[in-house]
Every structure is written in C-alpha cells, then in structure tokens.
C-alpha cells in the first residue's frame, strides 16, 4: 500500500521509515528508528528528489507509482548519493529507463564508484547557481560540500519556496504519520534525536554548515518549507531550527549546564560524581545531566556535550591510562571537533593515579578552545569525608564559571 503525504501544491513526501535498523551507519543506536525522505514533484515534468535506503526501496516505488498515475518519471534529482539515500537509484533507473538524472559531478563519480549503473542514462551535471525548469517550477542548485559528504548539494524551488536540504536539518526517528514540525511537539519529542543526529553525523563539519547557513540566509525570506532527507519537514518556526544549527555549527553550547560523565568500576568514582552533582544542585544549578560512560552510547554523550556548556569528566585510572570508554568519549569529542567548553576533572586510582593528568593533557593538547578548571578532585580509591572541602571548592568553581 502506498503511503504518501502532500507537502504543498504538486509536491509529495514519498519516503519511508525503518524501525528495524538497530544502528545507523552501523554505529549509532536508533531506538526510535529513522525515516528516509524522498519527494515527488508533479509539474509539467515529474521529478523525484532523492531516493531511499535499500531497505525502504519497495515502499518508495509503491509511493512513486501511485502518484505518477501512469505518467513517466522524467527527472531524478540527487542531492546526496550516500547509500542511505542513493541505494535505490538503480531500481528507479530500471523501472523508468528514460529518467534523466540531475546531480553534481562528484555525485556522479561516487555513483560510478558504488556501482549504481547510470551510464546508459542521460546525466545532467549541475553546479552552484545553475537553474532548471520543470514547467511551472524553477529550481536553483546550491553546493553544500561536506554537509556532510563532498558531493552534497541542496536544491531550492524558487516557485514554492521549498528547500530540499539533503542531510542538513535532518533527524533520527521514524515518522508516525505526522510529517510536519507543527504536527509534532518537536522541542519535547524530537530535538534530542535531531541533536544526536547532527552532532554525530555532521558535527565535524561546523565551518561547512556555517557556509551553507550563510547561503540560506540570503534566501531566508523566500524559504517556506525545509525538506530534509530524515525526520520532519519544516513549514513554520524555522528560526528555532536554524538557531540550533547555528549554535551547533559554531560549537557554542545551547544552554548553561553541567554534563557529568563518569567511569567507574566499583562505584567509588560514581559516588564522587553523585556527591558533586548534589552539591551543584544545592548551590542552585539545576541543569545537570549525569551519565555512566560504560552504559551510555557515546553518541548520546556527544550530543549532550554539544548541548551543555560545562563537562565534568570523572574517571578511574586503568592500567596507568584513562578508562578505555572515557578515552573513547574524548577521542570522539576530538573527531567531532567539539570546542568552547569548560571542563572539570575528578580522578581516581589506588596505587598510581594518572587519569586526571592524562585527561587534562588530552583536553589541552587534542581539543580546541577548551578551559579546564584548576580545582581537581583526586581520590585514592574512594571519596572520604576529609575531602569535603575540596568537593565544595570544585562545586564552587563550576558555579562561578557558570555564572560568568
Ligand atoms: C584493570 C585495572 C587496572 C587498573 N589500573 C590502575 C592503575 O594503573 N593505577 C591506579 O592507581 N589504579 C588502577 N586501578 C585501580 C582503580 O583505578 C581504583 O581501584 C579505583 O579506585 C576504582 O574506582 P571505582 O570504585 O570508581 O571503580 C586499576 C583497576 C583495574 C580493574
Ligand atoms: Fe548522509
Ligand atoms: Fe542521510
């Protein structure tokens, strides 16, 4: 059965959901699933904007066939050919052999590399600023390199103000029939998955996202719909989402608050982290998020690090090193380019405590524009009452820094 939604006059969502996939990119858990969005324009010519993952291909075909009502598919615009969107290109070409493909030079190269057989089809290569008319609708192509692949572009329909945004403005989470941002409670039900999607998938490429936002700013008054390749379509309150993207891509925190990430085997470092959290709350800090790095997937930790201004790392020493899972979190912060945060450190060891110095060194030498508070809490196996003043001093330092 087809399953489509009308976006605006002549334009339809023809994508599909995957609620079975456990790991996006085989690495990020997606307990709420994911949607692969594609869009069909029924103008004088018929145009499909992007395709879907292989797992969703049959649904896409049913949707497109239903809306074409026997008409041929004239054009296939590929904004982003990564296989979660491009895997069904070949099936589209097989079913509609006369379809003409519009994409960037690099995307055509990648299609060839991946073995999507485009050779016997008319391929129209477009670049920044090119325009194309499908009859009533004229679109402009805007390069979006490294958001988050080099071949990516976005397409703007100047006729109806629809921005086909590729992976920009997307989110994890399957759609439940509700397609538009104003049909869901985005700030309650979607923002965490949108942030986790952005920060882990696109986070490294902040400067490139800033460039794209700069280009979007030039046409902001004309944008009526943002149609991303994952998650809800935006038709109102776009300032909300653009503001989030602006913060994330500049590596500025959204909120003043404290992420406490702890690594603990026997529970003593965890207890110290808990004691600090309670002190902070007592001193009036209520925006606190506390996670055990061992049972929290690092994609969630990264997402929270992008949200909050302050990060407390509490780690045991492990074979003269940082606890491996904490080390992995630090490596991910580096990989995703996180910047402009204030850190506090709690370390623990029973015979040669090293984790504090090593975490400080990592932050100082491997991360950019970070501050580490001087007040460090060092435990010899467990936090004793004689350290109450040090714990208090650490909490005070965090509060003072938050109030700056
Ligand atoms: C595999 C392993 C390696 C460890 N390596 C060190 C070490 O190199 N230096 C050290 O001081 N303590 C080391 N420890 C001890 C723990 O860091 C220490 O007992 C700590 O207090 C445990 O805190 P927890 O109760 O939060 O797990 C190691 C423990 C384990 C299990
Ligand atoms: Fe992608
Ligand atoms: Fe994607």
For residue 377, report the distance from its CA to the centre of ligand 1, in Å.
16
Asked if residue 296 has its Cβ within 6 Å of ligand 1, the reply is no
Q: What is the pLDDT of residues 345-373, one digit of tens each?
A: 999 999 999 999 999 999 999 999 999 99
Atom of ligand 1 nearest to the CA of 353: 11
pLDDT band at 35; cut points 50, 70, 90:
very high
Question: What fold characterizes domain 5-250?
Answer: Metallo-beta-lactamase; Chain A (3.60.15)
Q: pLDDT for 236-260, tens place per residue?
A: 999 999 999 999 999 999 999 999 9
- Ligand 1 and 348: CB distance under 6 A: yes
Q: How far apart, in whole angstroms, are the C-alpha atoms of residue 354 and residue 100?
A: 61
What is the rounded average pLDDT of the residues 120-127? 97
Binding site membership of 349 for ligand 1 (Cβ less than 6 Å): yes
Length of the chain: 404
Class of domain 257-402: alpha beta
**Is residue 60 very low, low, confident or very high in pLDDT (cuts 50, 70, 90)?**
very high
Residue corresponding to tokens 């994330």: 248
pLDDT digits (tens, 9 = 90+) for 225-237: 999 999 999 999 9
Determine if ligand 1 sits within 6 Å of the CB of residue 174. no
Residue 332: per-residue pLDDT: 98
How many CB atoms are closer than 10 A to CB 286?
A: 8
- Model confidence over 318-339: pLDDT tens digits? 999 999 999 999 999 999 999 9
Ligand nearest the Cα atom of residue 170: 3
CA–CA dist 138, 158 (Å, integer)? 6
3-state secondary structure of 292: strand
Q: Which ligand is nearest to the CA of 349?
A: 1
Looking only at the bridges linking them, the beta strands covering 342-349 and 371-372 are parallel
Residue ranges, comma separated, of all CATH 3.60.15.10 domains in the chain are 5-250
Tokens for 30, please give them.
Answer: 């997606």
Ligand 1 pocket check: which of 268, 314, 316, 321 to mutate, most ligand atoms within 8 Å of Cβ?
316
Mean of all residue pLDDT scores within the chain: 98
> Where does CATH 3.40.50.360 sit in the chain?
257-402
Report the predicted TM-score, pTM, of the whole model to 2 decimal places. 0.96
Atom from ligand 1 closest to the CA of residue 270: 26
Picking from 193, 305, 194, 204, the residue whose alpha carbon sits closest to that of residue 259 is: 305
């Amino acid at each position: 059965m087809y399953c489509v939604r009308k976006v605006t006059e002549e334009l339809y969502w023809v994508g599909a959901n995957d609620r079975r996939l456990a790991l996006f990119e085989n690495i990020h858990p997606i307990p709420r699933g994911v949607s692969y969005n594609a869009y069909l324009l029924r103008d004088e010519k018929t145009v499909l904007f992007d395709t879907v993952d292989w797992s969703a291909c049959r649904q896409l075909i049913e949707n497109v066939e239903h809306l074409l009502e026997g008409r041929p598919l004239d054009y296939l615009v590929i904004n982003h050919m990564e296989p979660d969107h491009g895997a069904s290109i070949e099936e589209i070409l097989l079913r509609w052999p006369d379809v003409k493909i519009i994409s960037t030079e690099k995307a055509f190269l990648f299609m060839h590399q991946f073995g999507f057989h485009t050779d016997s089809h008319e391929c129209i290569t477009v670049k920044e600023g090119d325009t194309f008319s499908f009859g009533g609708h004229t679109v402009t192509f805007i390069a979006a390199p490294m958001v988050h692949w080099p071949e990516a572009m976005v397409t703007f329909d100047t006729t109806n103000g629809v921005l086909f945004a590729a992976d920009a403005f997307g989110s994890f989470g399957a759609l439940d029939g509700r397609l538009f941002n104003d049909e869901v409670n985005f700030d309650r039900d979607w923002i965490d998955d949108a942030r986790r999607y952005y920060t882990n998938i696109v986070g490294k490429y902040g400067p490139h996202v800033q460039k794209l936002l700069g280009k979007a700013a030039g046409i902001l008054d004309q944008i009526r719909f943002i149609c991303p390749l994952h998650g809800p379509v935006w038709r109102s309150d776009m300032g909300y989402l653009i503001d989030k993207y602006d913060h994330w891509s500049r590596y500025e925190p959204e909120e003043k608050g404290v992420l406490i990430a702890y690594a603990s085997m026997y529970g003593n470092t965890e207890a110290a982290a808990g004691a600090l959290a309670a002190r902070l709350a007592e001193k009036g800090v209520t925006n606190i998020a506390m996670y055990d790095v061992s049972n929290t997937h690092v994609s969630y930790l990264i997402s929270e690090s992008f949200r909050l201004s302050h990060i407390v790392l509490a780690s045991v020493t492990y074979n003269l090193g940082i606890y491996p899972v904490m080390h992995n979190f630090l490596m991910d912060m580096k990989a995703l380019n996180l910047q402009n945060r204030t850190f506090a450190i709690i370390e623990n060891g029973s015979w040669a405590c090293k984790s504090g110095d090593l975490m400080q060194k990592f932050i100082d030498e491997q991360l950019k524009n970070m501050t580490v508070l001087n007040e460090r809490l060092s435990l010899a196996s467990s936090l004793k009452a004689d350290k109450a003043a040090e714990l208090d001093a650490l909490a005070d330092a965090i509060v003072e820094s938050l109030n700056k």
